[in-house]
């Protein structure tokens, strides 16, 4: 039976969910309860899906890709737990439920985030790969470290909380987005390419695809967040507030179609990757 692209992605998402549940089950401590609470709440799973789609498009088997996909999702969720803390964005809600620190307290939430981050690297380090991919596995772990660390995602988060509105310009906010949001999306694509055995040329092309998609992803979120809300929060850099709503929509369209075009020219665009990319345009 031929499944639709939506069915195939749903099947892929379920495989990710099942793998993460398996890793996090069996420990009834409050720490693991907080980790499960944060990770297993409903999420889009955009990053792990992108990693698996990229790897499978290059011929990698899903069971080899799943540990890396789940590790990326653990890192993403650790960043959300910490991002919601009172010392950061001070958000009380995440995915329609109280944020982790509201449900378990700041101390447990902080440690739950730390636990997910370190567990992610344990998962990748112990992931079984064919002998010919051993060096690629080490490179994948190194890339995830670099892109999620103080020169990547963490650097972007630092910019997000420390940049004054008067310091913002188009170049600065693009740099912030590329680090805070884009870096982990680039990591997802790059790890899929590495484990998929892609050539250096293809890896570079996919990195450029991921960079554009990461920018588009955050601009879409900023468009959604630009609607005024009732709560009063400290101002955070927002692409829409800097360039205006119409210009932000133009950027979003351009970036998504540039990303798709890169893969089309190289005959690397699958139905799944195209669908994930075009879904970012649902706000325009």
What pLDDT score does 228 carry? 62
Q: Give me the CATH code for the 5-281 domain, please.
A: 1.10.600.10
Cβ neighbours of 164 (radius 10 Å) = 8
Name the token pair of 93.
């809600």
What pLDDT score does 232 carry? 43
What pLDDT score does 175 carry? 96
Instruction: Tell me the average confidence (pLDDT) per consecutive run of 10 residues in the chain, 284 residues long.
Output: 86 97 94 97 94 96 98 98 92 91 96 98 97 96 98 95 87 95 98 96 96 97 77 68 94 98 93 97 87
For residue 103, give the H/E element and its range.
Answer: helix 100-104
Q: Which residues contact 269 (CB under 8 A, 6 or more apart)?
A: 260, 263
What pLDDT score does 4 carry? 95
CA separation, residue 253 to residues 49, 207, 279 (Å) = 21, 19, 11
Residues forming a β-bridge with 143: none
What pLDDT score does 71 carry? 98
Q: Of 283, 284, 282, 274, which is closest to residue 50 (Cα–Cα)?
A: 274
Helices 62-84 & 106-125, crossing angle to 10 degrees?
A: 160
What pLDDT score does 231 carry? 45
Q: Pairing between strand 93-94 and 97-98?
A: antiparallel
Helices and strands (H, E) in the chain, number of each type:
14, 2
CA–CA gap between residue 193 and residue 208 (Å, rounded): 12
């Amino acid at each position: 039976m031929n499944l639709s692209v939506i069915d195939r992605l749903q099947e892929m998402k379920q495989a990710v969910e099942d793998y993460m549940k398996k890793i996090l089950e069996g420990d009834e401590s409050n720490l693991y309860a907080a980790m499960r609470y944060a990770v297993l709440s409903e999420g889009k799973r955009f990053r792990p899906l992108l990693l698996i789609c990229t790897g499978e498009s290059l011929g990698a088997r899903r069971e080899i890709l799943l540990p890396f996909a789940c590790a990326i999702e653990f890192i993403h969720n650790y960043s959300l737990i910490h991002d919601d803390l009172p010392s950061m964005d001070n958000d009380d809600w995440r995915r329609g439920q109280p944020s982790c620190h509201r449900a378990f307290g700041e101390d447990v939430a902080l440690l739950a985030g730390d636990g997910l981050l370190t567990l992610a690297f344990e998962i990748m380090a112990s992931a079984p790969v064919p002998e010919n991919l051993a060096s690629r596995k080490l490179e994948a772990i190194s890339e995830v470290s670099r892109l999620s660390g103080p020169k990547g995602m963490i650097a972007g988060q630092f910019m997000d909380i420390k940049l004054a509105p008067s310091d913002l310009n188009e170049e600065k906010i693009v740099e912030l987005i590329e680090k805070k949001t884009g870096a982990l999306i680039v990591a997802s694509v790059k790890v899929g390419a590495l484990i998929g055995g892609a050539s250096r040329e293809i890896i570079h092309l996919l990195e450029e695809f991921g960079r554009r998609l990461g920018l588009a992803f955050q601009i879409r979120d900023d468009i959604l967040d630009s609607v005024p809300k009732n709560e009063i929060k400290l101002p955070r850099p927002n692409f829409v507030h800097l360039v205006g709503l119409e210009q932000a929509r133009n950027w979003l369209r351009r970036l998504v179609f540039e990303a798709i075009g890169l893969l089309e020219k190289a005959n690397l665009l699958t139905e799944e990757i195209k669908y994930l990319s075009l879904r970012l345009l649902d706000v325009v």
